[in-house]
Structures are given as structure tokens and as C-alpha cells.
């Protein structure tokens, strides 16, 4: 066994084809409002974060065909894309995952939206669901994360 690495669910990401339609559905049907919207050029995606308590639902939509999310939509359709967990230290958590023998997508933490540091664990290791490790509040984009 290992010490608990995950402090909270940061976001659950849902891949959608029509961002505006999805935002509208969450607002009209579930009363969930957009707290943050961002183009993440590096990943070729647009993100909309809907606040749910201290966590988010993240709607994610590709901005170019070469985006991994475009491939995901083409092969698997709309739906759950990844689950993101908050960790105290992304680099340490990533290293612990590798030490435990699991495959990772990112060899080192990189910048996510909202000034976070992120790294992905390979879904082949994590039972079919892409797992993201999120360290909040490293830059100015701190939103909704409780103090560590």
C-alpha cells in the first residue's frame, strides 16, 4: 500500500461535439453554470468548467482535427473522457505512480488550464479511464481549490 495521493476530485471531463449545446443543457437541465472557459492551444481543446461544489464538470471539445479529443470523439463518441484528482504535488504524485510500475502519458508535469500543473496516467494502467493528476494554485488562475 501507498500513502493517499489524491486529496479531492478536481474535475470530471466529458468530451462533447457541440460546446454551446452542452453548456446550455447543463445550465437549463441541472442549473450548473460556467465558472471558467479556456482555449488550451497545446492540447487543441476548448474547456468549460462548471462548478459543482468545490469540484468541476469539465466540458471539453476539440479545436482541431489533430487533437486527441477529436480522435476520442471519432472512435468512442461523446462521453466520459477523464477523471482528474487534486494532489498536493504533481511531480511527486507522478513519480509515485511510475515507481508503482504504472504507465504514464506525461513524463513530467506540464501546465494545464487555470495555472495548474497536470500529468496524465495512461488508461491502460488505470483500468480504461484516463486519470489526470492536478496540482492547483501554482499561478494566478486559482479557482475554487481549498487551501492545502
Q: Is 84 in the site for Co ion (CB under 5 A)?
A: yes
Q: Is 23 in the site for Co ion (CB under 5 A)?
A: no
**Of 98 and 110, which CB lies nearer to Co ion in the complex structure?**
110
DSSP letter for each residue of 44-113: TEEEEEEEETTEEEEEEEESSTTSHHHHHHHHH-SEEEEEEEEES-HHHHHHHHHHTT--BS-SS-EE-G
Smallest gap from residue 1 Cβ to Co ion (A): 27
**Of 46 and 132, which CB lies nearer to Co ion in the complex structure?**
132
User: Are the beta carbons of 82 and 131 closer than 8 angstroms?
Assistant: yes
Cell 465558472 belongs to which residue?
35
User: Are the beta carbons of 60 and 39 closer than 8 angstroms?
Assistant: no
Cα 52 to Cα 27, 31, 32, 57, 108: the distances in Å are 12, 10, 7, 7, 29
Among 14, 23, 50, 132, binds Co ion (CB under 5 A): 132
Q: Is 119 in the site for Co ion (CB under 5 A)?
A: no
Q: Segment near Co ion (CB under 5 A), from 5-13, 26-34, 88-96, 97-105?
A: 5-13
**Of 84 and 119, which CB lies nearer to Co ion in the complex structure?**
84
Smallest gap from residue 99 Cβ to Co ion (A): 23
Smallest gap from residue 75 Cβ to Co ion (A): 19
**1-4 long-range contacts, CB within 8 A, separation 24+:** 2/96, 2/100
Q: Which residue is nearest to Co ion (CB)?
A: 84
Q: Is 43 in the site for Co ion (CB under 5 A)?
A: no
The residues of the shown chain that bind Co ion, judged by CB under 5 A, are 13, 84, 132
Amino acid at each position: 500500500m501507498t500513502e493517499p495521493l489524491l486529496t479531492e476530485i478536481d474535475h470530471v471531463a466529458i468530451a462533447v461535439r457541440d460546446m454551446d449545446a452542452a453548456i446550455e443543457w447543463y445550465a437549463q437541465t441541472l442549473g450548473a453554470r460556467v465558472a471558467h472557459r479556456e482555449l488550451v492551444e497545446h492540447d487543441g481543446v476548448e474547456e468549460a468548467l462548471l462548478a459543482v461544489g468545490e469540484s468541476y464538470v469539465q466540458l471539453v471539445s476539440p479545436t482541431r482535427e489533430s487533437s486527441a479529443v477529436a480522435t476520442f470523439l471519432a472512435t468512442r463518441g461523446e462521453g466520459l473522457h477523464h477523471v482528474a484528482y487534486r494532489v498536493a504535488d504533481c511531480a511527486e504524485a507522478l513519480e509515485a505512480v511510475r515507481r508503482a510500475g504504472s504507465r504514464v502519458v506525461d513524463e513530467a508535469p506540464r501546465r494545464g488550464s487555470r495555472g495548474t500543473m497536470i500529468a496524465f496516467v495512461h488508461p491502460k494502467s488505470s483500468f480504461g479511464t484516463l486519470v489526470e493528476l492536478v496540482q492547483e494554485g501554482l499561478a494566478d488562475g486559482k479557482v475554487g481549490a481549498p487551501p492545502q
